[in-house]
Amino acid sequence: MGLYNPDFEFIKAQALKELGCLDKCKVHLQHAYFGYILLGEKNKADEVICTANNNSKTIFDLYDVGKIDFSDCRRVPYERGNSIDCSNLGSMISALRKKANLSLSQLCRGICNKSTLYRIENGEISGNFFILEAIMQRLGRDISLFNNFFLSKDEFIAMQTRDKIYLSLINNEYSLVPELLKSLEKMNCFIKHKVNTQFIETVKAYLYSFHQGDTNVQYLNLLYDAIKITIPDFNENKIDLYYVTYNEAFIINIIASYFANTNQYSKAINIHNKIVKNINLKYVDDYEKARFYATTLFNCSSLLGKTNKRKKALKIIEKAEIFERSHGRLIDLPGLMFNKGYNLMMLGYKEECIPFFALAYYGTSLFVDYGHSEYLPIIKNSVKKHLNIIFH
């Protein structure tokens, strides 16, 4: 969806041109151009402009975005971590655990009992997918790289349902979630594991906030209840010490958002800083890291901006955009560009901020069908209010 979106938009524009539908080309060329610039693909962006210039009906304002130097845009593969010389998954988990100086109890806490992990490491049992997935995430690894699973029909359906719920929440399609959650709660293969119980309780907390508000203290209590299913002694000041699963990191980010929404900015920033430190130290697999890295840094930069620590915010944004752009991850870049533009504007760089706002607006418009349409008026109104510029 991300990396190839500008390509698809460019192809659509060229196809429409051949069909004689010149009036429909502009929006697709615009999407392609700003998408390529976001990804640092300057040569491809220039090709789009050549195509647009050949047809007077598709000329559009570039807002000088082509002058931005994304010298950090060299594409690199996902770093997946060093391989371990082991004959099976169990022995590899044991080796990774020892390398991290974790005891059996520390690694399996909240996921499974110690004897289960011991038997997995010693090859006595193969282990359940949901347990192994969480254990490998705590070790900063992607389970799919190291083991192939034959899932039963029920497990396969459960995993698909879980993923549908994640996507529905990300896309703000909350009305779809209750029915999906009900079906998931009926699946014995799923609910018998603590990590999956935690997922269910997290989703319920999220739905509670949607109906009752995200500043209600009961919402925070529900989040604490969820995180303590797998981290019983959870403490916000020790986040950088934990080895966290994806869902645990997800909950911690939401807890930080609660404090941000209740104007407890220093507490929220502290949590974000610690989870970023945690991710950088312990997630050796870039693919796993990418699932929440940019979101965490985006949230952190937003809070730093709100507390007038704008130069620090810009440094945080830079880290996130380098990671996203170097891996061809387009979807989070428009949000980062908005934060960058806003912080530059508030620092007094009113001319310099305009290209970043343009990238934010037209980049976001690429993803209106993926739950991002609500951000367009926010960007548009902000630019109109502060700079008297109207994006079309």
Q: Per-residue pLDDT tens for 206-235?
A: 999 999 999 999 999 999 999 999 999 999
Predicted pLDDT of residue 1: 44
Q: Is the dihedral of CA 161, 1, 331, 288 positive or negative?
A: positive
C-alpha distances in Å from residue 340, one per residue of 167, 269, 304, 347, 388:
26, 18, 12, 11, 18
CB neighbourhood size of 377 (10 A): 10
Residues written for the chain: 392
* Predicted structure pTM score: 0.89
CB–CB of 125/116 below 8 Å?
yes
Predicted pLDDT of residue 4: 52
Predicted pLDDT of residue 87: 86
Predicted pLDDT of residue 340: 97
Predicted pLDDT of residue 56: 58
DSSP 161: H
Predicted pLDDT of residue 358: 97
Q: Which residues of the chain have pLDDT under 50?
A: 1-3
Task: Please give the Cα distance from 244 to 141 (Å, whole number).
Answer: 11
Helix H or strand E encompassing 26 = helix 25-38
